[in-house]
Amino acid sequence: MNEIAVVHNDVAIPGTGELVNLDDPVSVARALDGLREYERLIREVKEVLAERLREERRALGVRQLDYPDFGLSVRFSADTETRYDADGLEDRLRAAGMPEARISEIVVETVERKVKAVEAKKAAAVNPAYAEAVELSREVVEKRQTVTVEVAR
C-alpha cells in the first residue's frame, strides 16, 4: 500500500518522486496543477479502457465478463435509465379511465422547502423575535474547501 508522507515539510509526488516544498506556495500551486492535469489524462485513459470492455460485453452479448483463469470478473452498471414524464403519464392515465386514487399511487408529488437566506436575514434585521427564530433554525456545516489553480499557458 502506498502512503503519502510529509518529511521535513516536503511531499513526494507519486509516480515522479518529485519533492515539493510545502513552504513554497508557487511550487505547491504548480505541483497541484500538474497533478490535476495528470488526473484528467488518467480519467480519459480510464474511459477508453472502459469503453473497450463495454464493446467486448456487447459483442459477446453477456451481462458481465468473467476471466476465471486470471481471477477477473468485470461487472457493468445499467446502461439505461428510465425516466417518466410525470405530468404526461398522469394525464394519460386519467384519460384512460384510471381512478384518481390509483393515479396518486403511481404519480407521487414531492415538495421540497428551502429557505431564502437573503430574505431570512432581512426579516431578522427588523424584528428581534424573527432574528431569534432565524438563528435557532440555522446551522453552519463545515465542508471541504476546493482550491483552483490558474496557470497561464
**Which pLDDT value is given to residue 149?**
65
* Mean pLDDT, residues 16-20: 89
**Average of per-residue pLDDT across 67-94:** 91
Report field, pTM of the whole predicted structure over 0.85: no
How does the average pLDDT of the chain come out, rounded? Answer: 90
Q: What is the pLDDT of residue 145?
A: 67
3-state secondary structure of 95: helix
Residue pLDDT, tens place only, 96-132: 999 999 999 999 999 999 999 999 999 999 999 999 9
Burial 83-114 (b: 16+ CB within 10 A, else e): eeeeeeebeebeeeeeeeeebeeebeeeeeee
